[in-house]
Amino acid sequence: TRAGKGNYPFYMEKEIMEQPEAIKATLAPRYVDGRISLEADGVPDDVLKNCERVCVVACGTAMHAGLVAQSLIRSILRMHMDVEYASEFMYMDPVIDDKTLVLAISQSGETIDTLEALKYARSQGAKSIAVINVKGSSIARESDYVMYTYAGPEIAVASTKAYTTQMAALFALIGRMAVVRGAFNEEQEKAFVDALMQAPDAIQQVLDRKEEMHHIARGLLEAKDAFMLGRGLDYAILLEGALKLKEVSYIHTEAYASGELKHGTIALITEKTPVVALVTQERVRDKELSNIREVQSRGASVVVLVKDGIDLADADYTHVFTLPAMDDVAMAFPASAALQLLAYYVSMDRGLDVDKPRNLAKVVTVE
Ligand code: G6P
């Protein structure tokens, strides 16, 4: 083993395990006297206050962090927000003007598609905040403002701690926006901060049970296809969970908004097809359970990841993994850690090179 992996067989596992510390490091500078502050980032309140819409440009995993943020911005700020693949941005006639706040999210800060999209948005008068892990990188230099994630170096090609620290930084940004735009009173800010500060501990609780997930992963080793089902925020989280699984295990995996399955590919759910259902939002529970029954009646083998306290009724699931209960908005943290572990163990037990999936590069500097 190379130096740097410590006692772990792969960087991916080490980086998954580092998440509680990485999130703490990312939140610390933005948590001042019990309140959210972006002062250390130099992001002025009027930038957060005066924009009329928000647009994320990012690729891959970073784009998925943007989708989680979108769900929050809509529900908390009641604001319009687009999330675009940076690689598609230029071909989609993006609606960008001087009232748009662009968020460029990137671990490396060198993804050319994201850099080009950011440059274009700025040329249209947009203000920008880059959420970046690598200090002084090209995207950081191009942006008006930068919020760094403090994930530390991420070596495994499949992104894990970069993603959850991007979420942590975005949550802080959204929290501050909610304060300056009057969407949060003091009490609401406090509740939000409390939930966010519990994220490292919630992730730790999932990581402490990694062998439970290892056991669940064994049920997927022979699969050719897998599906991940959820609604709302759960669906956004699963898009990244599905990317993770397919990247490192080569099992073709699709995240489906649960209600859409019947309009599309439910025919692909046959005997023993693995389905991972995520249920962290109380308000989607009833509908999600009926979607689970639909796929079970077609023979699917269903693993349910459920927030502690949500009643799954008396059905017979292949496995149930209980996620520590936090405020609904923060469930993305423990849920993501569980999905990362699943992908990791499937890849490892299939005997694959977890850290270097074929044909993928950590940093992509071609368009
Ligand atoms: C590559 C990596 C992905 C990553 C994406 C964006 O495709 O394989 O894991 O999410 O680039 O990278 P960035 O450095 O901009 O976050």
Report residue 232 CA to chain centroid gap: 13
Structure tokens at 305: 């990841």
Q: What's the length of the chain?
A: 367
* Distance between Cα 60 and ligand 1 center (Å): 5
- Predicted pLDDT of residue 2: 47
134, 161 in Cβ contact below 8 A? no
138 lines ligand 1 (CB under 6 A): no
- Predicted pLDDT of residue 212: 98
Q: Which residues of the chain have pLDDT under 70?
A: 1-3
106 lines ligand 1 (CB under 6 A): yes
Q: Among 241, 229, 228, 258, which Cα is nearest to 333's? A: 241
- Predicted pLDDT of residue 53: 96
Question: Which residue has tokens 């925020």?
Answer: 233
- Predicted pLDDT of residue 222: 96
- Predicted pLDDT of residue 195: 96
* Distance between Cα 56 and ligand 1 center (Å): 15
Testing ligand 1's pocket by substitution, the residue of 248, 362, 365, 366 carrying the most ligand atoms inside 8 A of its CB is: 362
107 lines ligand 1 (CB under 6 A): yes
* Distance between Cα 362 and ligand 1 center (Å): 6
296 lines ligand 1 (CB under 6 A): no
66 lines ligand 1 (CB under 6 A): no
62 lines ligand 1 (CB under 6 A): yes
- Predicted pLDDT of residue 96: 96
Amino acid at 118: L
Strands 127-132 and 100-106: parallel
- Predicted pLDDT of residue 264: 86
Question: What are the φ and ψ backbone dihedral angles of 40, each rounded to 5 degrees?
Answer: -65, -25
- Predicted pLDDT of residue 188: 97
Structure tokens at 160: 């894990």
- Predicted pLDDT of residue 1: 40
- Predicted pLDDT of residue 366: 87
- Predicted pLDDT of residue 282: 92
Testing ligand 1's pocket by substitution, the residue of 111, 146, 366 carrying the most ligand atoms inside 8 A of its CB is: 111
